[in-house]
């Protein structure tokens, strides 16, 4: 049995005080839900304040990115050594990082290795562009991204993968549950080729891309889908809590 995991990726939204308010709005209800791992990924600058708020809470924290060196002259970057005191998870290889900040497979592989070595649990994002999807290249693209990210990685069941088709992110045009389930099943088979059957059967694979309270059941009722990486809807307390609650109900 894989423990479902719902993570909120707040992206570049919320000031520190807005972030604190948002956590205060959802904390009590989110804490009541059982059987689902709940992870909030606010901007770096809010991690410390939210960590204070979540002392002794089952709600976990994640960062949205990190650099692939431990320390040094890398102005403006944040290293895993800094994050490990603040959070448990780190999102790596998000399509916005790949697209706007030119992160390539090699860089993402270095980040993944260092995250694991540093004791952070990575949420590795993969997913195809609209034109790749329309050209029937989805499996080629995600297979390449997964294999490239996992080169030289020790097989670890702490790894989480998020399948986020780029055309579904922030567009309101989510994949269908069946489409997402098929691609996630495919990703698990690719992971099995690299990490072995047992590890691949144990790692959690999320769907991400326009997940809302209204379509949660469509995705989470699928057997291969172990959770969601939620963008826009994670910035609304009641909606995020509803996604987590529905997940608990469906997967129990
Ligand atoms: P949306 O839920 O806003 O489509 O964003 C998805 C995403 O990119 C989460 O990482």
Query: Residue 140 — very low, low, confident or very high, per pLDDT cuts 50/70/90?
Result: very high
Q: List all residues 6 or more positions away from 220 whose beta carbon is below 8 Å from its beta carbon.
A: 4, 227, 228, 246, 247, 250, 251
- DSSP H helices in the chain: 16-32, 44-53, 80-83, 95-100, 105-118, 130-134, 138-149, 177-195, 197-202, 216-220, 237-251
Q: What is the pTM of this model?
A: 0.98
CA of 90 to the centre of ligand 1 (A): 15
53-57 mean pLDDT = 96
Backbone angles phi, psi at 166, to 5 degrees: -60, -35
Structural domains of the chain sorted by starting position, each given as residue range(s) with its CATH number in brackets: 5-251 (3.20.20.70)
- Confidence label for 155 from pLDDT (cuts 50, 70 and 90): confident
C-alpha separations of 13 from 39, 105, 179 in Å? 16, 26, 29
* pLDDT tens by residue, 63-76: 999 999 999 999 99
Supply the pLDDT for residue 35.
97
Name which of 133, 132, 230, 246 is nearest 179 in CA terms: 133
| CA dist., res. 170 & res. 92, Å (int) | 18
- Is the pLDDT assigned to residue 203 strictly greater than 90? yes
52 half-sphere exposure, CB direction, 13 A CA radius: 6
3-state secondary structure of 75: coil
157 pLDDT band, cuts 50/70/90, is: confident
Average pLDDT over residues 126-152: 97
Structure tokens, 29: 């209800």
CB 211 less than 6 A from any atom of ligand 1: yes
Mutate to test the pocket of ligand 1, among 232, 239, 240 (most ligand atoms within 8 A of CB): 232
**205 C-alpha to ligand 1 centroid (Å):** 15
Q: Within its chain, how far is the Cα of 69 from the centroid?
A: 21
pLDDT for 213? 98
CB 58 within 8 A of CB 88: no
Output the pLDDT for position 135: 97
As a whole number, mean pLDDT of residues 102-109 equals 98
pLDDT band at 201 (very low <50, low <70, confident <90, very high): very high
CB of residue 42 inside a 6 A radius of ligand 1: no
Where is pLDDT greater, at 157 or 53? 53
- Say how many Å lie between the CA of residue 72 and the centre of ligand 1: 32
């Amino acid at each position: 049995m894989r423990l479902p995991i719902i993570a909120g990726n707040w992206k570049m939204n919320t000031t520190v005080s807005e972030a604190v308010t948002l956590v205060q709005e959802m904390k009590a209800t989110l804490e009541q839900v059982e059987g689902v791992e709940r992870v909030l990924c606010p901007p770096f600058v809010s991690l410390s304040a939210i960590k204070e708020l979540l002392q002794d809470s089952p709600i976990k924290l994640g960062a949205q990115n990190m650099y692939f060196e431990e320390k040094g002259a890398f102005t403006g970057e944040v290293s895993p050594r800094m994050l490990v005191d603040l959070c448990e998870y780190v999102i790596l290889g998000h399509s916005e990082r790949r697209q706007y900040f030119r992160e390539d497979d090699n860089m993402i592989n270095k980040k993944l290795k260092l995250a694991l070595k540093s004791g952070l649990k990575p949420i590795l994002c993969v997913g195809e562009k609209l034109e790749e999807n329309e050209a029937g290249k989805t499996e080629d693209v995600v297979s390449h991204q997964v294999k490239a990210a996992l080169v030289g990685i020790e097989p670890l069941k702490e790894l989480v993968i998020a399948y986020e088709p780029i055309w579904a992110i922030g567009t309101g045009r989510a994949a269908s549950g069946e489409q997402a389930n098929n691609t996630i099943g495919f990703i698990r088979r690719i992971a099995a080729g690299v990490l072995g059957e047992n590890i691949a059967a144990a790692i959690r694979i999320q769907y991400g891309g326009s997940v809302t309270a209204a379509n949660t059941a469509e995705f989470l009722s699928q057997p291969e889908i172990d959770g969601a990486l939620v963008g826009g809807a994670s910035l609304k307390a009641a909606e995020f809590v509803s996604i987590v609650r529905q997940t608990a109900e469906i997967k129990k």
